[in-house]
Chain A
Amino acid sequence: MLHGFLPTLIDGTGITLAVAFLSLVIAVMLGLLGAAARLSKVPLLRGMATVYTTVIRGVPDLVLMLLIFYGGQLAINAAALALGYENTLDIDPFVAGVATIGFIFGAYLTETFRGALLAIHAGQREAGLAFGMSRLKVFWRITFPQMIRLAIPGFTNNWLVLVKSTALVSVIGLTDMMHRAGMAAGATREPFTFYCAAAVIYLAITTVSLLGLGVLERRYSVGIRRAA
């Protein structure tokens, strides 16, 4: 099937998913930190988080990726030289891709988490504090579980956009699924067939994600009354 290129495409799908999941981990951490900073009482933190989300969301992913890939390469070589290393280091497209996508979607998730946190009634937190819980405990036991439910729709949306953004790492030379589809297209002179195959795989990832996150949303919405 597909002139024997199916295994390599499936291999590439593994890389695509690895990029997506690893950058999601970075994005969630940055998003939580960012949301905490946006809602903090310290003006400096608030300002930094605002600049982060505004700048990242105002510039295309591709430009940021090229900046980090080519610019990061230069910066690392300069740093290595300054530290006395003679050999030049190469930035791995995988690392550059994961770092960039994580950094970008951290900004989007910051806004998602911030909105979800703001939607939780202050009385919930106050009640926790009145019971003598520490602020950390209030966050983990009271705010965070409720935030998940409110953040799921935005999170789903960001995840779907993130998965599609991973296709861009093929532009900086990572041999992800998209890149392999391109190589197979060149080798067989059947570009339509292979880009179609790539589209079908992305669509499958999207579909599975939608189903999975739908289950999660129902799970976290147990006990929430809905208007019929």
Chain B
Amino acid sequence: MRKPTCTSTDSRRRFLGRVSALGATCGIARAVRPLPALAAAASIAPTLAANVVSAADVAKAKSEGNVMLYTSLDTKIVDAIIKPFQEQYGIKVQYYRGGSADVSSKVLAEAAARRIQADIVDASDVGAFLAMKSEDILKPYDSPATKSVAADLRDPDNTWVADRLTQAAIQWNTHLVGSAPPRHWKDLADPRYAGKLTFFSSSNGDGGPRLYTLALAFGWELLEAYAANKPLRVATPQLVTQLLESGERAAAFCTNDNIAWRSKKLGKPTDYGFPAEGVPTELGAVGLLKDAPHPNAAMLFYDWWMGETGQAILVDGGKYSSRSDLAPPSGNPPLKELKLLILDYAKYQAQRSQVLERLTQIFGGEWGA
């Protein structure tokens, strides 16, 4: 358990060092590590010029004609990234979209059956990529498009690279919380939020990592207090936002920043915030499959996805890019101003079933434990 001394909030600039110190002194958060690379994130406006650096053989890619993407990214962003690619190369991009765990379990199941149908896999779950790497189903690729992604946001063997960072935010309905919106994680533990909270996780436990991060940083009691407020649990952050927009629930913990961002941008009665005491961050990553049916088209699309154009579209959709040369989504603070908490995924992978078991005990329901 955490000692209270570790929760002291420092100036934002020093948070990263603070988090690592926290890991060292309290011994809890060996699994929570800082992201020094992001401190250096520059704010260069993205250009939408479609000049793509690629190591792929474009002629071969075109003759393959198709590429199959498995992704957990919101379809509106996926559609926007695919469209100009298809127009430029005439290569059709088909995709399967599911939650992170849906995507990774599908890839692993296909690999076990030796029937890989995906060319590229993208999911907000580095743990799954570690599993895929150990199954030896990912193809190492040192893409020229990923040069501006920092070293700690990628696999040293280049089997995967982070493409985006998703922050777990607090979101609320502006009509229902009144003049005192919840700014801190502990605010939502208050009994006055009984029957008014919502959060998300599919029945396979894809919401687990961020809740575990929160528990490591602020204690399991926080989650127990949330559970005591009987939060409504839905499968996706989109449904969380829907519940808030319709006024079914007043506030949400650990929802996706980009979904909250879009809701506010569309003028819905919602707002969101990143608690200063720390924000769980999840790396989304992308990788190529070794036995991809369309290897060249896959490489080409990978370079598009990670390239300046693809990533700029991602940012336009409200996501933070992993590239150090892109600005944050409009209206959002740069990541270096946030105190980011990130799980050590190798450790999470090892403890996964115990963590999900504990979440099952706390919240009840189905966590894939």
Our verdict on whether A and B bind, yes or no, reads: no
Question: B-side interface residues toward A, CB under 8 Å?
Answer: none
Interface residues of A (CB under 8 A from B): none
